[in-house]
Chains A and B, each alone.
Chain A
Amino acid sequence: MKIIYIGAVWCPACLIVKPVLKKLQSNYVNIDFIYYDYDMDEEEVNKYQVGKVLPEIIIFDNDKEIQRIIGEKNKKELEGLINEVIK
C-alpha cells in the first residue's frame, strides 16, 4: 500500500494537513508515504489528475486508487478516512 501526498508551498491548507499526515505516518509502518510538490514535481503530479483544491492525498492498494482525500482535514478526520480503507 502507498499514500501519495500532493501539496504546494503557496497552499495554506497544506500547512495544516502535511504536518498531521507526517505525524500519522508512524502509525502506518507498512505503508509507503510519498510527498510531492505540485510545482516542483510536475511530471509525477500530472499522473494523478489533481483538481482545483490542494492538498490531495491518494491511497493506493496494489497500484489501484482506493481513496482520494481532498483539501483541509484535521487529524481526526484524516485518520478516519485513512483507516476506513486500509482495514
Chain B
Amino acid sequence: MIYLDYSATTPVNKEVLDTFNKVSLNYIGNPNSLHKLGVEAKTLINSATEQIADILKIKPSEIIYTSSASEANNLAIKGIALKYQNRGKHIITTPLEHSSIYGPLNYLSDLGFEIDFVNITDNGMIDIDHLKSLIRNDTILFTTNSVNSELGIIQPIEEIGKMLKGYPKCYFHVDMVQSIGKIHIPLDNVDLISIEAHKFYGIKGIGMLIKKDKILLEPLIHGGKSTTVFRSGTPATSLIVSLAKALRLSYINLDEKYKYVQNLNNLIRMGLEKYDDVAVNSPINALPYVINFSVDGIKPETFMHALEEYDIYISTQTACSNPNNISKAVYSVTKDSKKAGSSLRISLSHLTTENEVEQFLKFFDVCYKKLKLK
C-alpha cells in the first residue's frame, strides 16, 4: 500500500497508541472525582497539559480540550460571536477555509451576523491591505487557517497577528490543523488556535482550542466544569495524554523532516511536469507536505479510484469537503473553474519513502495513459 493522504489523517504512532492503552488500563478514575483514583487521573492530565503548554510556549490555562478541530473551530467562532455580539456582528474570513469554518459562519449568518471575505493574492496569500480595509468598528473576529488543506498555502500569521493588534476589538482565530507538527509558527499574536491530534500521528477523537486567558467564550456544551468551564464533559484522560505524546514526538527533528519532505515534493513536481495537461495548483512556496494538481479531461474521482486499484491512496479536494462542489480554494488561486472542479491532492509525510514516490509516479503514468485512451 502507498498512502499519500496524510493531510486527511495520519496513521497513529505506535508509541502514542501504547500510551493511550496504558493510561486507559491504569488510570480508570474520573478526573473530576475527589477520591484517589480521580486525583491520580487529574494529576496525569495536568502533567500532560503542562507538557503541551511547554511545547507550544503557551499557558496550561489556555488549553481547552475538544473532540476534534471541527469542534474547536465551532467553539472559537460561535463562542466569540455569541459572547461579544453586543460589540458587533461582523466577521471576516478567507475563501481558503475548511467546511468547519464555513459551517458555523453560515449558522451565524442566519442569526444576523455579517460575513466578509478577504481577497487572496495570485499566489494564494491573504491580501493584508484588503483585510485592513474590511475591518470596521463592529468587527469582532478574523478567522483563517495557517496552512490551507487543499493547496498547502502558508499564510503570514505573524504579520497578520501584529497588524490585528491595532484592532483590539477584533479577535484573531487560526485553524492550525495542517501546520502543527510540520512548521514553526509563533503563537504570540494569535488569540485562538485550533489543533487536532490525528493530523500529527495521534488518535482520532481529540483536539484542542487554545484560547488566550483574557478572552471569554459562550460554550457549545454546557455542564460541569471539567478541565475548563468553556467545554463540559468528562475529561478523556487517555486521549489527552496521548495527544501530549503525539505532539512531543511531532516536534522531534521537525526541520529535518520538513527538508526530507521538500525533496519528495520536488520529485513529484518534476514527475508531474512532464505531462502537458497536468497542472500543479499548489504554489511553489506552499507547504511541501501538500501537492494539489489537476489532470485535464479526467474526472478526479476516476483518477483517484484508478490509483486505488494499485493500492495507492490520494484524495480529491479534502476529506471533509462536498464531492459535488468545485474547490473555492483552487479557484481562488488558479481562476480556472475546470481546474477547481478537477483537483487531486497528494499529501506526504516523513514516513513516505522515495521508493513510494517512484511507485506513485510509475502508476500515475499507467493510469494516465489508460484513462486518456478511454
Chains A and B come from one and the same complex: yes
1/0 per position for B341-353, CB-CB distance to A under 8 A? 1000000000000
Q: Among residues 138 to 166 in chain B, which have CB atoms less than 8 Å away from a CB atom of chain A?
A: none
Q: Among residues 30 to 67 in chain A, which have CB atoms less than 8 Å away from a CB atom of chain B?
A: 38, 50-54
The minimal Cβ–Cβ distance linking B114 to chain A, given in whole angstroms, is 7
1/0 per position for B309-333, CB-CB distance to A under 8 A? 0000000000011101110100000
**A82 proximal to B (CB < 8 A):** no
Could you tell me if B328 and A12 are in contact, using CB atoms closer than 8 angstroms? yes
Residues of B within 8 A of A19 (CB): 109, 114-115
Could you tell me if B117 and A16 are in contact, using CB atoms closer than 8 angstroms? yes
Could you tell me if A10 and B95 are in contact, using CB atoms closer than 8 angstroms? no
Q: Known contacts A19-B114, A52-B326: does B109 contact A12 (CB below 8 Å)? A: no
The minimal Cβ–Cβ distance linking B115 to chain A, given in whole angstroms, is 5
Could you tell me if A15 and B325 are in contact, using CB atoms closer than 8 angstroms? no
**A78 proximal to B (CB < 8 A):** no
**A4 proximal to B (CB < 8 A):** no
Could you tell me if A9 and B107 are in contact, using CB atoms closer than 8 angstroms? yes
**A8 proximal to B (CB < 8 A):** yes
Could you tell me if A10 and B321 are in contact, using CB atoms closer than 8 angstroms? yes
Chain A: residues with Cβ within 8 Å of the partner, total of 18
Main secondary structure of the interface of B (DSSP, over half): mixed
Q: Known contacts A12-B97, A12-B117: does B324 contact A52 (CB below 8 Å)? A: yes
Main secondary structure of the interface of A (DSSP, over half): loop
Could you tell me if A11 and B102 are in contact, using CB atoms closer than 8 angstroms? yes
**B263 proximal to A (CB < 8 A):** no
**B224 proximal to A (CB < 8 A):** no
Q: Known contacts A8-B322, A53-B326: does B102 contact A15 (CB below 8 Å)? A: yes
**B99 proximal to A (CB < 8 A):** yes
**A69 proximal to B (CB < 8 A):** no
Q: How far is the CA of A16 from the CA of B106 in the complex (A)?
A: 9
Q: Known contacts A16-B117, A19-B114: does B106 contact A11 (CB below 8 Å)? A: yes
Residues of B within 8 A of A15 (CB): 102, 105-106, 109, 115, 117
B-binding residues in A (CB < 8 A): 7-16, 18-19, 38, 50-54
A-binding residues in B (CB < 8 A): 95, 97, 99, 102-103, 105-107, 109-110, 114-115, 117, 320-322, 324-326, 328, 341
Interchain Cβ contacts under 8 Å between A and B, 13 examples:
A9-B99, A9-B106, A10-B102, A13-B328, A14-B102, A15-B105, A15-B115, A15-B117, A18-B106, A19-B114, A52-B324, A52-B326, A52-B341
Given A9-B107, A52-B341, 5 other A-B residues pairs in contact with their CB atoms under 8 A:
A7-B106, A9-B103, A10-B106, A14-B102, A19-B115
